[in-house]
């Protein structure tokens, strides 16, 4: 399987060079494991957006390693669904197709709406305080114009709702969803981030009031609005 070819692909996302990727020092595992972990982090935080051409020679220069662990790392990312390797073209950060996006959001509708309902019924004072703190962090993010942090904060918010629901299987499912969700939340525009932050606060208010019906309805509305915006991004 060919990792690179002379055919040029999309530019390396929004970063000027591979030097802006984080270092791999002090990370556990083999060299391939370390490269894979760094690239996955960069994909999830939006540093390497969908469509980015991951050129093996650029990665070997960045980390001063041979091409073998780079190829192994890219194949591991391919197996995990994060990268597409196209024969004679190379490796590219994977974009979500319309069908997969719909499937993810069907599952989100099951997990996140139920989690919001259960959180309203079961939440502890500590869990509610954590959710309120995450909302405050979201508004602070907007005030400080740090929109690049939203994808990570969004994952923490939905994880905290699932934790407040008191269902470990649901929380594990949410964590799997969070990784997939970050493939597109990292591409949301600032207006949608602001809207989502207010929607999170409304969900938390319903959870605080222990209004399960309202919490579930607000979670469903939040999901539908996010899906509509992502469909718009995809064109």
Q: What tokens were used for 138?
A: 């979201």
pLDDT value for 3: 41
Same domain, 65 and 144: no
pTM score = 0.76
Number of domains in the chain: 2
Same domain, 130 and 215: yes
For residues 94 and 154, the model is more confident at 154
Give CA torsion, residues 87, 179, 101, 153, to 10 deg: -130
Report phi then psi at 112, rounded to 5: -75, -35
The residue out of 93, 109, 133 marking a domain boundary is 93
* Residue 159, domain extent: 98-234
Q: Kindly tell me if the per-residue pLDDT of 233 is higher than 60.
A: no
Same domain, 188 and 215: yes
Would residue 5 count as lying in a domain?
no
Give the residue carrying structure tokens 């996140």.
Answer: 112
pLDDT value for 15: 47
Same domain, 104 and 89: no
pLDDT value for 7: 32
* pLDDT level of residue 8 (50, 70, 90 thresholds): very low
Same domain, 74 and 105: no
Would residue 48 count as lying in a domain?
yes
Same domain, 74 and 131: no
The residue out of 76, 93, 110 marking a domain boundary is 93
Give the residue carrying structure tokens 């990727």.
Answer: 21
Would residue 76 count as lying in a domain?
yes
Same domain, 130 and 217: yes
Mean pLDDT over 137-143 rounds to: 96
Same domain, 114 and 85: no
Spell out a b/e string for 135-156, using b for 16 or more CB atoms within 10 Å of the CB, else e.
beebeebeeeeeeeebbbbbbe
Output the average pLDDT for the chain. Answer: 87
pLDDT value for 159: 97
Q: Kindly tell me if the per-residue pLDDT of 51 is higher than 90.
A: no
Would residue 4 count as lying in a domain?
no
Same domain, 59 and 117: no
pLDDT value for 43: 85
Q: Report the CATH number that the domain containing residue 161 is assigned in CATH.
A: 1.20.120.530
Would residue 196 count as lying in a domain?
yes
Would residue 70 count as lying in a domain?
yes
Give the residue carrying structure tokens 């939203």.
Answer: 150
pLDDT digits (tens, 9 = 90+) for 146-181: 988 898 899 999 999 999 999 999 999 999 888 888
pLDDT value for 1: 38
pLDDT digits (tens, 9 = 90+) for 173-231: 999 888 888 877 877 889 999 999 999 999 999 999 999 999 999 999 999 998 887 77
For residues 149 and 1, the model is more confident at 149
Same domain, 56 and 110: no
Would residue 64 count as lying in a domain?
yes
Mean pLDDT over 73-86 rounds to: 92
For residues 41 and 135, the model is more confident at 135
pLDDT value for 120: 98
**Separation between Cα atoms, residue 228 and residue 235, nearest integer Å:** 11
The residue out of 93, 118, 136 marking a domain boundary is 93
Same domain, 103 and 195: yes
For residues 89 and 11, the model is more confident at 89
Would residue 11 count as lying in a domain?
no
Same domain, 191 and 214: yes
* pLDDT level of residue 2 (50, 70, 90 thresholds): very low
């Amino acid at each position: 399987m060919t990792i690179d070819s002379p055919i040029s692909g999309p530019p390396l996302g929004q970063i000027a060079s591979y030097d802006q990727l984080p270092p791999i020092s002090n990370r556990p595992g083999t060299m391939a494991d370390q490269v894979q972990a760094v690239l996955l982090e960069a994909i999830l935080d939006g540093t390497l957006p969908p469509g980015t051409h991951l050129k093996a020679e650029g990665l070997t220069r960045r980390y001063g390693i041979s091409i073998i662990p780079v190829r192994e790392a890219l194949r591991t990312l391919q197996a995990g669904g994060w990268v597409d390797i196209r024969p004679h073209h190379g490796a590219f950060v994977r974009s979500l197709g319309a069908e997969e996006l719909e499937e993810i959001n069907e599952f989100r509708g099951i997990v996140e709406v139920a989690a919001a309902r259960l959180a309203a019924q079961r939440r502890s004072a500590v869990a509610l305080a954590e959710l309120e703190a995450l909302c405050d962090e979201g508004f602070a993010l907007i005030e400080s114009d740090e929109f690049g942090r939203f994808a990570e904060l969004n994952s923490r918010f939905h994880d905290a709702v699932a934790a407040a629901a008191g269902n470990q299987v649901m929380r594990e499912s949410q964590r799997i969803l969070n990784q997939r969700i970050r493939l597109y939340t990292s591409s949301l525009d600032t207006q949608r981030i602001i809207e989502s932050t207010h929607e999170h606060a409304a969900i938390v208010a319903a959870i605080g009031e222990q209004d399960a019906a309202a919490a579930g309805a607000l979670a469903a509305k939040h999901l539908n609005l996010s899906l509509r915006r992502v469909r718009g991004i995809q064109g």
